[in-house]
């Protein structure tokens, strides 16, 4: 049976706690964590806020040692390697791009994490073209912490929910925060 690709996802913030919300995927409602700074239209590096807007799903990454086989999806996915990083240093020309680690003298996020948050990651295409230094980096859809504690600006779902949702996502899917 062929699955229908969802054209649109929407995040509805919780009016009582702007650091939590509900991701609306067609008729399905999925609890999610949002940035510790709530949401903003004027995102800045390190502010902890989730950017408001509508974003393409560029593709993503997964941990083969934790997920086993590649999760089924129409999005391009690649395996995360232990030396994968993401540059969050606005001074560097590779800002908001994947980079190899170690990267001496650079601030970068490690993609191969011990806590499982990046076992499955979707790049939300925030500040990716043209890239504006200092306007925020590494904005992803990824695995949530237990209890949906706030993120640094990403949208996070329980791992089983993210794996199920991935089956319905494709290059044409857009996410609105």
Secondary structure (DSSP) of 92-130: STTTTSEEES--TT--EEESS-SSSTTSEEEE--TT-SS
In a domain, 1, yes or no: no
Catalytic option among 142, 152, 153, 155 = 142
Number of domains within the chain: 1
In a domain, 3, yes or no: no
Catalytic option among 23, 57, 99, 154 = 154
How far apart, in whole angstroms, are the C-alpha atoms of residue 149 and residue 35?
9
> pLDDT 10s per residue in the chain (177 long)?
467 999 999 999 999 999 999 999 999 999 999 999 999 999 999 999 999 999 999 999 999 999 999 999 999 999 999 999 999 999 999 999 999 999 999 999 999 999 999 999 999 999 998 999 999 999 999 999 999 999 999 999 999 999 999 999 999 999 999
In a domain, 31, yes or no: yes
In a domain, 120, yes or no: yes
Residues sharing a CB contact under 8 Å with residue 65, sequence separation 6 or more, in sequence order: none
Nearest alpha carbon to residue 82 among 120, 114, 106: 114
In a domain, 96, yes or no: yes
Neighbours of 51 (CB within 10 A): 22
Does residue 36 have an active-site annotation? no
Domain that residue 73 falls in = 8-176
pLDDT of residue 86: 99
pLDDT of residue 36: 98
Mapping DSSP onto H, E and C, the string for 35-64 reads: ECCCEECCCCCCCCCEECCEEECCEEEECH
Residue 101 belongs to a domain with what CATH number?
2.40.440
Does residue 142 have an active-site annotation? yes
């Amino acid at each position: 049976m062929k699955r229908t690709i969802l054209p649109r996802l929407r995040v509805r913030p919780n009016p009582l706690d702007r650091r939590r919300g509900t991701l609306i995927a067609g008729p399905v409602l999925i609890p999610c964590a949002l940035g510790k700074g709530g949401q903003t239209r004027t995102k800045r590096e390190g502010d902890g806020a989730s950017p408001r807007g509508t974003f393409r799903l560029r593709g993503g990454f997964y941990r083969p040692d934790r997920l086993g086989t590649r999760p089924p999806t129409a999005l391009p996915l690649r395996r995360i390697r232990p030396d994968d990083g993401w540059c969050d240093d606005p001074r560097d020309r590779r800002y908001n791009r994947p980079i190899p680690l170690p990267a001496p003298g650079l601030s970068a996020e490690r993609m191969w994490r011990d806590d499982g948050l990046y076992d499955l990651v979707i790049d939300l295409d925030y500040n990716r073209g043209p890239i504006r230094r200092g306007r925020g980096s590494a904005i992803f859809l990824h695995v949530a912490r237990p209890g949906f504690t706030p993120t640094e600006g990403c949208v996070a779902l329980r791992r089983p929910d993210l794996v199920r949702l991935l089956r319905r996502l494709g290059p044409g899917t857009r996410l609105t925060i």
